[in-house]
Amino acid sequence: MTYQELFQQIILKKSYLCVGLDTDIRKIPSHLRNAADPIFEFNKQIIDATADFCVSFKPNIAFYEALGPKGWESLQKTVEYIPKNHFSIADAKRGDIGNTSGLYARTFFDPESSGLDFHSVTVAPYMGSDSVKPFLEFEGKWVILLALTSNPGSFDFQRLGFNGSSLYEEVLKTSQTWAGPDRMMYVVGATQASEFRKIRTIIPDHFLLVPGVGAQGGNLEEVSRFGMNSSCGLLVNASRSIIYAGNGLDFAEKAKKEALALQKEMEIYLDKYCN
């Protein structure tokens, strides 16, 4: 999926919502637990219920691999089931030396090797350029690089200062030489909304994947006001607040209601700030 195609989907749906599939076998409704593949059955119903109100789905890989081989099978089925017009994100936070990152890229981008065919993968920047570039060798696929995260530990290193600039700003600056806004996005934590202005002076055009709206308590209005650019430039993720909105037979209906509410709010901000 290209930058323009993603923007077109945003305009069409009036939404920049990403639904995070952090599907925990311990948290799904009990009536699904006897299904042949409870994780996939849950995801299928969540995708069906929310697809009209979002432009992206983001399986959190940890939740699948924690279940061993059968978790990877549920993941394969889920990725295949995500509608082709939705931007798919493997939230995997991978990154290693060149030949190993090449294998991680095959994991998420080469269906003949792994059975998975995502549009994009999240990558950690700590090991530098040659740990990121192998992912970019897959034509048309995207890297979503960790920049500033929303967890307390983001203060340990990401915000340390180097000559007046912080580590995450260095990550934004240096990584721009690796790929343009047509192949790279950044993870930027929603609880840092006041910093979006600074970030947008460094990367005016890139899409930002913003976690933390919903269960982690980010403010969607603030994120949209400071983070949006003329191509929207935002994918705002909500996971638990949508997928665990209900826990009974009507869990998908409740998830739909949550996704619709976020889409309605996003429609207002697109009108107001996307210009």
Q: Which residues pair with 19 in a beta bridge?
A: 57, 238
In the complex with its own copies, which residue's Cβ is closer, 50 or 60? 60
Per residue in 31-48, is it b (16+ CB within 10 Å) or e — as a string?
ebeeeeebbbbbbbbbbe
Burial label for 256, CB within 10 Å (0-12, 13-18, 19+), is buried
Does residue 85 belong to the site contacting its own copies (CB under 8 A)?
no
Tokens of 260: 């619709």
Does residue 63 belong to the site contacting its own copies (CB under 8 A)?
yes
Does residue 124 belong to the site contacting its own copies (CB under 8 A)?
yes
Q: Residues 155 to 184: which contact its own copies by CB under 8 A?
A: 155-158, 160-162, 167, 170-171, 174
93 is catalytic: yes
Q: Which residues pair with 2 in a beta bridge?
A: none
From 8, 32, 37, 103, residue interacting with its own copies (rule: CB under 8 A): 103
Does residue 149 belong to the site contacting its own copies (CB under 8 A)?
yes
List the catalytic residue out of 14, 44, 77, 93: 93
In the complex with its own copies, which residue's Cβ is closer, 23 or 229? 23
What DSSP assignment string belongs to 75-142?
A: HHHHHHHS-TTSEEEEEEEE--SHHHHHHHHHHHH-HHHHS---SEEEE--TT-HHHHHHHHTSTT-E
In the complex with its own copies, which residue's Cβ is closer, 49 or 193? 193
In the complex with its own copies, which residue's Cβ is closer, 115 or 246? 115
CB 63 within 8 A of CB 24: yes
Binding site for its own copies (CB under 8 A): 22, 24, 60, 62-63, 65-73, 76, 91, 93-98, 100-101, 103-104, 106-107, 110, 113-116, 124-132, 146, 149-158, 160-162, 167, 170-171, 174
